[in-house]
Structure formats: C-alpha cells, structure tokens
Structure 1
Amino acid sequence: MEQAPDPGGPPSRLPTVLQVAAFLLAAAASISAALLPVMAEETVGSSPGTPPEHTVEQLTLLQTHPPTVLIPLAVPLLLTLLPLLVPRRAVWWTAVGCTILLLGFIVLAIASVGWFYLPALAAATAAVALQRAARLPHHRDAA
C-alpha cells in the first residue's frame, strides 16, 4: 500500500508537471488552430467549349484572417504559463484564477477553437486539485 506524502517533507512535483503539460497542450492547440485547415474554398472556372474546372483549396486560420488572430490564440498560453512564473506562495490562487479564466475563454470560443483547449483545461484543473490536496493537512487515525 502506498504511503501518503509526509506533510513536512518535500512537496510533490506532480502539480508543476501537470501545469507544464497544460502549457504544452495549450501551445499545441494554438499552433494547431493557426496552421490546420479550417475551411475549404472551391472555385469553378470554365471556358467556352471546355468542361468546368473545379479547384478546392484548403485554407488555414492565418490565411483567412489577419495576423492579429494570433492575439486570442495567445491568451490560453498566458493563462497556463502564469502559474509557473509566480512566487510559490501565490501559485495556488494564481492557478485557480487562471484555470477559471481558461474555462471562460473555452466557453466563449467553443464554436470555433475552444474545443482545442479542453485537454489543457483538464491538465490545469488536475494541477489545481493536486496543489489543493497537497496544501490540506493530513490527519491520520490512531490505530
């Protein structure tokens, strides 16, 4: 049977690893959202006496929008990176706030790229939960 970590011992690194995973997942989602084809453009050209010529072109978000579209794609990156940069005493509150804001971003963007960030939200939520569990005092029953 696995022993619970000693409350006076070194803190678990798992919440930090999960927060790094959330950042990497958000980065992968932003890169995917910017570079994967999001729409198809079909053109039909015809000349008299020839059959119509159909052309289908797959377009990415960067091809269909100005570069300013990268600003909203950077929001989840910042929200998952910030808990890794703050002082240790403020990590939990920062992680909670950033995770709530990430959830809000996903809800607002669910019709377009919000789905891409659900794995990052899951990792960030797990990091917050494990940080909270590590902060709670461990009570042991006397045998």
Structure 2
Amino acid sequence: MENESYVKIISEWDIVAARQLGRNVAKELEFGTVDQARITTAISELARNIYLYAGQGEIRIERINGRDKRGIKVIAADNGPGIQDIRKVMEDGYSTSGGLGAGLPGVKRLMDEFDITSSLEEGTIIKTVKWTR
C-alpha cells in the first residue's frame, strides 16, 4: 500500500470517490467505525467546498505515523479564489452556500488536527489529521 493517494475534484462524483478512498484508507489503518464516519464526513465537506467554491482541486490522503500511533492526513488543495476572511468561515453557523454552516468548524471538530492557509486569487490548502485511538 502506497503512502499517499489522491482524487482530483472536478465533478460531484469526485466527492463520492474521495469519501470512498478515505473510508478505505481509514479501514486499512484500523480506525473504528465511528472514526471512519468522522473521517469520511470531513472529506465529504472538504471536497464539496472545493467543488462549490473553487471549481476544482484535489483531496490527498496520506498514511502517517506518530510516536506510538498511526493516523490519516487529509489535504484539500485548490487554486480557487481563496477565502476572504478565515475567521468568519470558522464561525459556527456561517454559510455562503445556504447550507447548514457545519462546514469548516465541523471538519475541525471531527478531526484531531486542523490547519488552513488561503491566499486571495491563489487558492486554499486545508490539512487535517485523525489519529488512531
């Protein structure tokens, strides 16, 4: 099994493919079913954001090792318009798409580590990590 896999996000079907890839890697790493659901939900949200706001990008999934634990790293990257106000998008209930606004704050809660970098007109990179228990 290679260390990194990715799915290009161009159509809505790619969101499904990214979720499936994430679930398969989470199973291989022996995450429990609850954490598998958390990981796939986070991937779904990240991939949907790429599709809705950037038009295209990719979800990269890496198997990682810590001191005495293993984990999954999910990187969502796009070359879209970027995020004007990161603090605002990290507020619970904030939505520009008319969705529930669980969005990025939800992803942050579902995962153990969360980092976001965004530049206007250059795109956004979100890195998240979930460790096995």
Q: Taking structure 2 as the reference length, what is the TM-score of the superposition?
A: 0.30
Which has the greater radius of gyration? 1
| Higher RCO by CA contacts (8 Å cutoff, separation 6 or greater) | 1
